[in-house]
Chain A
Amino acid sequence: QKEVEQNSGPLSVPEGAIASLNCTYSDRVSQSFFWYRQYSGKSPELIMSIYSNGDKEDGRFTAQLNKASQYVSLLIRDSQPSDSATYLCAVIGAGGTSYGKLTFGQGTILTVHP
């Protein structure tokens, strides 16, 4: 089982729609979860961090965390063509040999078409 796994995509949505990105992780004691966006040829940049169960909203972005199901998701409302990028889920390990280890999923390519 991969440590962090994302729904493979690619994902294509029309402008104005909701884009839904999903991620599962294997380390049951992890406490810190992140979504990054990466444009082609650029470095990853942080969109959202989430540490507690439930929803966290920031503008058009909502992160959802369910530690019991080991599941993190990102919703992008009113998707814009500028949201077209690769989205990376990341988790920091909290126990044993994974302590402090920041692991990324394989990424989901999102395309928002006008």
Chain B
Amino acid sequence: NAGVTQTPKFRILKIGQSMTLQCTQDMNHNYMYWYRQDPGMGLKLIYYSVGAGITDKGEVPNGYNVSRSTTEDFPLRLELAAPSQTSVYFCASSYRDTEAFFGQGTRLTVV
């Protein structure tokens, strides 16, 4: 059972480039989340989804976009990368309002 899978694990982007962080889960969870975590800080919610076709902004959505066309996948798109987006990104999923399970994270550096 793979759980929540994030790709890539590491990435270096140049300023102005774009990329998509992939997240997929095989637990048939309806809720999915994207967070960023800066060094020494807590988790900040970027976007979340309570089901396919439904997405909502979290605390820090600027500079990011998401889509949820299937239950399994919740990709996060970075447009025009900036140094302020250097962070560790975590994807998580849960069955409704029960405990969330996390992926291994993507460490992104924008230079």
Contacts and interface: CB of A to CB of B under 8 A. Distances in A.
Bind each other:
yes
A101 B102 contact: no
Given A101-B56, A102-B33, A43 B99 contact: no
Contacts of A107: 41-42
Contact of B58 (A46, A101, A105): A101
B74 interface: no
A90 B58 CA distance: 14
A102 B98 contact: no
Interface stretch (A53-61, A64-72, A92-100): A92-100
Interface in A73-99: 88, 90, 92, 94, 97, 99
Interface in B1-44: 31, 33, 35, 41-43
Contacts of A88: 42-43
Interface of A: 31-32, 34, 43-46, 49, 88, 90, 92, 94, 97, 99-107
10 contacts: A34-B99, A34-B100, A45-B102, A46-B99, A49-B98, A102-B48, A102-B92, A106-B42, A107-B41, A107-B42
Given A43-B105, A100-B48, 16 more contacts: A32-B97, A34-B100, A43-B90, A44-B90, A46-B99, A46-B101, A90-B100, A97-B56, A100-B31, A101-B48, A101-B56, A102-B33, A102-B48, A102-B94, A104-B43, A107-B41
Interface of B: 31, 33, 35, 41-43, 45, 48, 50, 56, 58-59, 90, 92, 94, 97-105
